[in-house]
Amino acid sequence: MWWPSTVIGAGAGFALASIPGALLGALLGQAMDRRLRLQGWDDVRARLGGRPTLRDEELLFVLLGRLAKSDGRVAEGHIQQARQEMTRLDLAEPARLQAIAAFNRGKAGKERLGQHLRRVRQQPHAVEGTLRACWRMVWADGKAGRRECELVLGWGEQMGLSRNQVQAMSHDYEPRKSAVENGTMTYVAALRLLGVEADTEADLVKQAYRRLLSRHHPDKLSGSGASEAKVREATELTRELHQAYAMIRKRRGL
CB distance 159 to 118 below 8 Å = yes
Same domain, 200 and 230: yes
What is the pLDDT averaged over residues 71-79?
A: 86
Same domain, 139 and 64: yes
44 pLDDT band, cuts 50/70/90, is very low
Same domain, 154 and 202: no
Same domain, 60 and 163: yes
DSSP letter at 232 equals: H
Is residue 35's pLDDT more than 90?
A: no
CB distance 106 to 74 below 8 Å = no
User: What residues make up the domain containing 18?
Assistant: 4-48
**CB < 8 Å & 24+ apart, contacts of 71-78:** 71/145, 71/147, 71/148, 74/107, 75/140, 75/141, 77/140, 77/141, 77/142, 77/227, 78/137, 78/140, 78/141
In percent, how much of the chain has pLDDT > 90?
26
CATH number at residue 202: 1.10.287
Same domain, 242 and 197: yes
Smallest CA-to-CA distance from 74 within 110, 108, 102, 113 is with 108
Is residue 230's pLDDT more than 80?
A: no
Write the pLDDT tens digit of every residue in 128-182.
999 999 998 998 887 888 999 999 999 999 999 999 999 988 877 776 666 666 6
Q: Radius of gyration of the chain from Cα atoms?
A: 23
Q: Are strands 180-181 and 184-185 parallel, antiparallel or unpaired?
A: antiparallel
Same domain, 132 and 202: no
Asked whether residue 12 is domain-assigned, the answer is yes
CA distance 234 to 225: 14
Torsion angle (degrees, nearest 10) of CA 128, 133, 137, 142: 70
Global model pTM greater than 0.75: no
CA distances from 28 to 4, 18, 45, 48 (A): 12, 15, 20, 20
> What pLDDT is attached to residue 53?
61
CA distances from 229 to 39, 43, 223, 236 (A): 44, 43, 15, 11
90 pLDDT band, cuts 50/70/90, is confident
CA distances from 60 to 19, 54, 104 (A): 42, 9, 12
Asked whether residue 111 is domain-assigned, the answer is yes
Asked whether residue 175 is domain-assigned, the answer is no
CA distance 117 to 206: 37
117 pLDDT band, cuts 50/70/90, is confident
Number of domains the chain contains: 3
CA distance 170 to 168: 5
What lies within 8 Å, CB to CB, of 116 at 6+ separation is 53, 54, 59
